[in-house]
């Protein structure tokens, strides 16, 4: 801690000195200050970024109006997604070949603030902001991601909440209803009067679920999300403009969700079945967020400071393992890996309720965890001129603390006549009683240098991180006896980045960048080194009239990749939260996108879009690991498709629109390997169609309809953590939007 405070003082002095040195330069009249904390949301601004950047605006999001972030991000090249429960509650997102498990290797933000439950100590995103209430989603990759951190290998995703309206009074009322009693309600009111402005918003969603539990009952979810903002501002003509905005949010989720999937045989006959062994599974969580943002604009200089606090607690009460009488508890994944063995047949018969078990044979775990994430970050944007070069200097400093608190215990059940009967409850904390903590200081500086058509963006990020894991013992739930062990570690990372763009013409821009990629290890993983890489990208952008396109090649050269032991991957090696070194990995690929529209008449056009991603992710060294297994050079990483993409075509008239989208995801392997994928290690390729339409009844009222999985294709999305999991079947959703 003292080490980080000393570094903070040094960096603050550096920042003040730099500000004083550059403040004496007069800014160019046409210089535009770039937001130093938020990813730029202006599509024109994306052209200035020396790398891959996508900004999905409110108009883009409204076409299909998905509240499932997985479906929304399909239109962004370079994104890898493993679906899970069909509604996007627990997304698994990777970028450019990073692991997808719980989106833990992506920097996730809401309004420019880290939003994962514990971004350094435990980043697995069991909380993800409600995509249905967002006004924009921004994705940056390559060198641009270095400015956000702490995970800079793949990229950063920023979700922008509904802004306060710049009008005396405005609002939205939206309602949806569909298959499986699916519903969504979204509404907000906002207004500005003199120096005071405010917004109040709610987003609520739920469903009975599309899976069918052997014992009957709900397999769906309920989500309640509330948000409020209030802002005080000086007058627009003040010499120094300032604003102070307070944001408070609350999200509660109650989901009848499980990690238990199906055998290949059962999936083929009844893909939406849920075994009786999952009847006790339930996820419940509470999230609270608080943000206080101060912004100061003095001429062209902007300083933005944000203090934030996020609290998240959850308990996923779910089947953990099963004792079939062969010597201890077994992870059910083994039954699905070898479904024809005598042990697997017995285990699956118990899980399906066809065979009774011994008392206490099914172990259900209360995965009870509490998280806290807090900090303060400040950013400076300062335009100035040197000779013929225009500059925008950006500096940011962030102090951050987070922790994950586990206090977990098991309950033992007996399968009896297809019902799970409680037989005993283990003491609280008997499974896990520990805290993981992280303290971090991050500093970033970048200069955007414009020389005619050439723009250079040299940048540097510094991270100083202290990690700790505190174990309290499994027989001391009150933690009265102090810790039984403490594991502490510290690391520093210096992450340079250099990007360049060159405007060949008004329509064509070339781009290239190189950057140092980094992800910190988890607390308590004594042998795990930080994840590091060198990241390269190059390509071009085209923009003319109604058309835009991009073609970018990327190469991430890992010196070490990490594998994380989580319940989500069905890990049976070590403790949940442990990480393992995977050594050298090469990830290379191509991202392509095209969007535009054909005008058929003044009132009718045909919008089209296409995105494609090719990814080749391979291990570059041979080793044997309890986590990764036996790995050879050239083995491909699991759950990374080589080919994926989305195409859409529509009709857009004055008062109505209709859009058809096709999403393709290539086959993936579930374990590292080469050559043809074994049947029991393969998730087959799939192509899914969605259709959406809107009719504008008046300037303020529109009717909306959507069909997800238009042709009702049955498809698998994963084999982990316990068996095959289905994607969502055909679903109809309809509703109305009213603006005022």
For residue 23, name the pLDDT band (cuts at 50, 70, 90): very low
Residue 720: its pLDDT value, please? 83
Give the pairing of strands 389-416 and 686-696: unpaired
**Contacting residues for 263 by C-beta, under 8 A, at least 6 apart:** 335, 336, 339, 348, 723, 724
Residue 40: its pLDDT value, please? 36
Distance CA 45, CA 28 (A): 18
Taking every pair of Cα atoms in the chain, the longest distance, rounded to a whole number of angstroms, is 83
Q: What does R_g of the chain's alpha carbons equal in angstroms?
A: 26
Residue 553 has pLDDT above 50, yes or no: yes
Residue 32: its pLDDT value, please? 30
Burial of 738 from C-beta contacts in 10 A (0-12 / 13-18 / 19+): middle
Residue 54 has pLDDT above 70, yes or no: yes
625, 623, 620, 624: which is closest to 637 by C-alpha? 620
Weakest-pLDDT range from 35-49, 127-141, 181-195, 697-711: 35-49
- Strands, E assignment, 565-674: 579-581, 585-601, 604-619, 623-625, 629-631, 643-653, 656-665, 668-669
**Contacting residues for 457 by C-beta, under 8 A, at least 6 apart:** 50, 143, 446, 447, 448, 449, 497, 498, 499, 500, 513
* Burial track 265-279 (b if 16+ CB lie within 10 A, e otherwise): ebbeeebbbbbbbbb
Distance CA 449, CA 386 (A): 10
Helix or strand (DSSP H, E) at 91? none
154, 11, 32, 144: which is closest to 458 by C-alpha? 144
Residue 271: its pLDDT value, please? 97
User: In this structure, are residues 230 and 196 in contact, taking their beta carbons and an 8 Å threshold?
Assistant: yes
Residue 241 has pLDDT above 50, yes or no: yes
What does 470-524 look like in DSSP terms, one character per residue?
EE--TT-TT-TT--SEEEEEEEEEEEEEEEEEEESSSSEEEEEEEEEEEEPPPTT
Distance CA 118, CA 42 (A): 29
pTM comes to 0.91
Distance CA 81, CA 558 (A): 21
User: In this structure, are residues 36 and 295 in contact, taking their beta carbons and an 8 Å threshold?
Assistant: no
Tens digits of residue pLDDT in 124-164:
878 999 999 999 999 999 888 888 989 999 999 999 999 99
Residue 27 has pLDDT above 80, yes or no: no
Helix (H, G, I), strand (E, B) or coil at 644: strand
Residue 124: its pLDDT value, please? 83
Distance CA 58, CA 76 (A): 15
Tens digits of residue pLDDT in 361-375:
999 999 999 999 999
Give the bridge partners for 682, in sequence order: 669
Domain spans in the chain, listed from the N-terminal domain onward: 2-739
Domain 2-739: give its CATH code: 2.40.170.20
Residue 236: its pLDDT value, please? 87
Residue 668 has pLDDT above 80, yes or no: yes
Q: How many CB atoms lie within 10 A of CB 504?
A: 11
Q: How many CB atoms lie within 10 A of CB 718?
A: 23
3-state helix, strand, coil in the chain (%, to 5): 10, 55, 35
Residue where the block lists tokens 């990208």: 537
Residue 49: its pLDDT value, please? 80
What's the rounded mean pLDDT across residues 89-94? 94
251, 576, 628: which is closest to 436 by C-alpha? 576
Distance CA 439, CA 4 (A): 8
Distance CA 683, CA 125 (A): 23
What does 117-166 look like in DSSP terms, one character per residue?
SBTTTB---S----GGGEEEEEEEEGGGGGGT-S--SSEEEEEEEPPPPS
Residue 18 has pLDDT above 60, yes or no: no
327, 324, 381: which is closest to 357 by C-alpha? 324
For residue 555, name the pLDDT band (cuts at 50, 70, 90): very high
What's the rounded mean pLDDT across residues 673-697? 96
Distance CA 634, CA 536 (A): 20
Residue 45: its pLDDT value, please? 58
Structure tokens at 285: 């969580």
Residue 569: its pLDDT value, please? 58
For residue 680, name the pLDDT band (cuts at 50, 70, 90): very high
**Which letter does DSSP use for residue 727 in this model?**
P
Residue 427 has pLDDT above 90, yes or no: yes
What's the rounded mean pLDDT across residues 237-251? 96
User: In this structure, are residues 100 and 670 in contact, taking their beta carbons and an 8 Å threshold?
Assistant: no
Residue 698: its pLDDT value, please? 96
Distance CA 611, CA 407 (A): 44
Residue 77 has pLDDT above 90, yes or no: yes
Tens digits of residue pLDDT in 270-322:
999 999 999 999 999 999 999 999 999 999 999 999 999 999 999 999 999 99
Distance CA 391, CA 414 (A): 69
Helix or strand (DSSP H, E) at 389? strand 389-416
Residue 38 has pLDDT above 50, yes or no: no
Residue 278: its pLDDT value, please? 97
Residue 435: its pLDDT value, please? 96
Distance CA 486, CA 435 (A): 10
Residue 576 has pLDDT above 90, yes or no: no
Structure tokens at 291: 């943000």
């Amino acid at each position: 801690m003292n080490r980080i405070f000393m570094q903070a003082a040094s960096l603050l002095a550096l920042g003040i000195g730099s500000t004083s040195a550059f403040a004496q330069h007069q800014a160019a009249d046409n210089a535009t200050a770039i937001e130093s904390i938020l990813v730029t949301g202006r599509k024109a601004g994306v052209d200035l970024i020396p790398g891959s950047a996508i900004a999905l605006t409110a108009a883009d999001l409204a076409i299909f109006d998905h509240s499932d972030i997985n479906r929304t991000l399909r239109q962004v090249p370079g994104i890898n997604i493993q679906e899970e429960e069909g509604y996007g509650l627990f997304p698994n997102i990777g970028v450019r070949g990073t692991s997808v498990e719980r989106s833990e290797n992506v920097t996730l933000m809401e309004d420019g603030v880290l939003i994962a439950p514990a971004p350094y100590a435990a980043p697995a995103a069991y909380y993800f902001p409600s995509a249905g209430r967002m006004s924009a989603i921004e994705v940056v990759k390559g060198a641009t991601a270095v400015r956000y951190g702490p995970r800079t290998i793949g990229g950063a995703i920023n979700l922008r909440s509904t802004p306060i309206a710049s009008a005396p009074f405005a609002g939205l009322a939206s309602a949806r209803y569909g298959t499986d009693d699916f519903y969504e309600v979204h509404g907000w009111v906002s207004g500005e009067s003199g120096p005071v402005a405010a917004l109040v918003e709610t987003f609520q969603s739920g469903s009975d679920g599309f899976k069918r539990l052997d014992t009957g009952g709900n397999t769906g979810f309920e989500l309640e999300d509330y948000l409020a903002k209030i802002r005080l501002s000086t007058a627009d003509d003040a010499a120094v403009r300032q604003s102070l905005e307070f944001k408070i949010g609350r999200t509660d989720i109650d989901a009848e969700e499980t990690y238990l999937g199906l055998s290949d045989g059962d999936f083929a006959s009844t893909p939406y079945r849920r075994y009786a062994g999952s009847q006790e599974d339930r996820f419940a969580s509470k999230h609270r967020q608080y943000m206080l943002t101060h912004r100061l604009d003095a001429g062209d200089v902007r300083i933005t400071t944000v203090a934030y606090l996020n609290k998240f607690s959850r308990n996923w009460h779910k089947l953990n393992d099963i004792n079939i009488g062969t010597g201890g508890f077994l992870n059910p994944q083994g039954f699905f890996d070898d479904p024809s063995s005598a042990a697997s047949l017995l285990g699956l018969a118990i899980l399906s309720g066809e065979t009774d078990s011994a008392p206490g044979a099914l172990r259900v775990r209360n995965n009870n965890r509490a998280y806290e994430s807090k900090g303060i970050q400040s950013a400076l944007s300062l335009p100035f001129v040197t000779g013929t070069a225009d500059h925008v200097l950006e500096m940011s400093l962030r102090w951050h603390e987070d922790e994950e608190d586990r206090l977990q215990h098991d309950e033992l059940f007996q399968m009896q006549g297809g019902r799970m009967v409680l037989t005993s409850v283990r003491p609280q904390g008997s499974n896990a009683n520990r805290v993981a903590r992280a303290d971090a200081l991050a500093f970033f500086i970048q200069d955007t240098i414009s020389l005619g058509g050439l723009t250079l963006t040299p940048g540097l990020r510094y991270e100083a991180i202290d990690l700790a894991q505190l174990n309290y013992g499994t027989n001391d739930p009150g933690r009265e006896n102090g810790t039984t062990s403490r594991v502490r570690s510290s690391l520093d990372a210096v992450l340079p980045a250099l990007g360049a763009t060159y405007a060949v013409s008004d329509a064509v821009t070339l781009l290239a960048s190189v950057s140092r990629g980094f992800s910190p290890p988890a607390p308590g993983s004594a042998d795990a080194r930080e994840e590091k890489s060198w990241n390269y990208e190059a390509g071009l952008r085209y923009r003319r009239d109604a058309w835009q396109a991009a073609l970018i090649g990327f190469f991430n050269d890992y010196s070490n990749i990490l594998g994380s032991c989580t319940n989500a991957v069905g890990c049976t090696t070590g403790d949940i939260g442990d990480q393992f070194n995977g050594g050298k990995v090469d990830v290379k690929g191509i991202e392509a996108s095209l969007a535009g529209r054909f005008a058929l008449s003044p009132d009718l056009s045909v919008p089209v879009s296409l995105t494609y991603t090719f990814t080749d992710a391979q291990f570059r060294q041979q080793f044997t690991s309890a986590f990764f297994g036996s790995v050879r050079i050239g083995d491909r990483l699991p759950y990374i498709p080589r080919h994926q993409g989305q195409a859409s075509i529509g009709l857009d008239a004055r008062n109505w629109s209709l859009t058809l989208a096709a999403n393709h995801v290539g086959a993936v392997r579930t374990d590292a390997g080469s050559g043809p994928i074994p049947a029991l290690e393969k998730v087959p390729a799939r192509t899914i169609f969605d259709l959406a339409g809107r009719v504008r009844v008046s300037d303020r009222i529109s009717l909306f309809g959507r069909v997800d999985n238009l042709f009702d294709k049955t498809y698998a999305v994963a084999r982990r953590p316990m068996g095959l999991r289905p994607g969502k079947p055909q679903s109809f959703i309809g509703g109305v939007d009213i603006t005022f």
